[in-house]
Amino acid sequence: MELTTVWFILIAVLWIGYFVLEGFDFGVGMLLPVVGRSEAERRAMVTTLGPLWDGNEVWVLVAGGATFAAFPEWYATLFSGFYLPLFLILVALILRGVAFEYRSKRSDGSWRARWDAAIVFGSAVPALLWGVAFANIVRGVPLAEIDGNVEYDGGFFNLLNPFALLGGLTFVAIFMTHGAIFLSLKTSGTIRDRAHQVGIRTGAVAAVLAVAFLIWAQLAHTDKVWTWIPVLLAAVAWVGALVMHLKRSEGWAFTLSGVTIGLAVVALFGMLFPYVMPNINGGDPALTTTNASSTEYTLTIMTWVAVVFVPIVLGYQAWSYWVFRKRLSAEDIVDPEKGVLDEVPA
């Protein structure tokens, strides 16, 4: 197997890790005012993410860095053409990170309400725009060759087509359900019960949107037959996740919802290959794993670095999830009327 193909697969794996792990972060953030009816409940929800959210964001940083190093032409065209949506994602993620840190600095209710709104915004906007971006990449975008370089030849509103908007809504609904299942797994009492009910409703909506999006992608934007396999397996895994969620078997439900997200990303990358950015008008100019890649020497060095460090990162993240595996409830949170909230023990 060529190293360009290896790195295309590795980048797909990084995006799988990001969407599976950061996906429930986004879901919990979007559900903050829906599931959390009191300050103690909202604080408990935020605390479930406290030791995890910043580690989950490392996946997108590594995915971006790997794309820059392995496929610099793809990186340049993607970040220039998708500049505005990617900038909005960056702003939203920064705002969300600040909100996590600052919401508990004062006991004032309006202070916390503003930062809670920032968490909702910082979770919903990236979820929506990542879906829009990936849908456009699979669909193809207008490209032109300018001064020997392949560049995006459209505007911002070219990205807001019906297929891309459906992809954005699909990502939002799936991440909300993934987050609700995570809350059911990580909390007890009223938070768990409320998250359970929300997960059932959002899961049904996500199923309809995901089926429409993936079938549209399969029929209109690829001629590959094998990509039906991950599409169908993703549908089966999602049904299994909802059934396990109904039965209050949250561990299995969370695992299967994660499998669903992983299989959906496999299907999208499979539809894309060997292109990394196809031309919506068909043919050339277009970017493939061959003409967008770095040199063989660069890819060889990167491969050895990945062999050494990826297992270390995976081991550390698995350990952190094991350490912070206990459930939380609103009763574990100090009453905000009695003073500044203390950190909840793991």
The sign of the torsion formed by the CA atoms of 234, 235, 240, 243 equals positive
CA distance 175 to 32: 13
**Whole-prediction pTM:** 0.90
Residue 338 lies in a domain: no
pLDDT score, position 333: 67
Q: Does residue 340 carry a pLDDT above 70?
A: no
127 part of a folded domain: yes
pLDDT on residue 328: 67
DSSP alpha helix (H) spans, the chain: 3-30, 32-35, 39-49, 53-70, 72-81, 83-102, 109-139, 162-186, 190-220, 228-246, 250-272, 296-323
- How far is 114 from 102, CA to CA, in rounded Å? 10
Is 248 a domain residue? yes
Is residue 40 one of the residues assigned to a domain?
yes
The residue-averaged pLDDT of 96-108 equals: 86
Whether residue 342 is contained in a domain is answered as no
Measured between its terminal Cα atoms, the distance across the chain in Å is 44
Mean of the per-residue pLDDT values of the chain: 88
Q: What is the pLDDT of residue 341?
A: 44
Number of domains in the chain: 1
| Domain housing 61 | 3-141+154-328
Per-residue pLDDT tens over the stretch 59-94: 898 999 999 999 999 999 888 888 899 999 999 999
Distance CA 25, CA 27 (A): 5
pLDDT above 90: percentage of residues in the chain: 59
| Nearest C-alpha neighbor of 210 from the set 242, 185, 181, 186 | 242
Mean pLDDT of 27-54: 88
Q: Is residue 148 part of a domain?
A: no
Tens digit of pLDDT for each residue in 287-327?
A: 999 989 999 999 999 999 888 888 888 888 888 878 777 77
pLDDT score of 330 more than 70: no
CA 167 to chain centre: 12
339 is a domain residue: no
Rounded Cα distance between 110 and 89, Å, is 25
Query: How confident is residue 331, by pLDDT bands cut at 50, 70 and 90?
Result: low
- Mean pLDDT, to the nearest integer, of 277-281? 88
* 97, 43 Cβ separation under 8 angstroms: no
Report which DSSP code applies to 287. E
Task: Please check whether residue 90 lies inside any domain of the structure.
Answer: yes
At 346 the pLDDT is 35
One-letter amino acid at 315 equals G
Cα–Cα dist 77/277, whole Å: 9
Give pLDDT, residue 343. 41
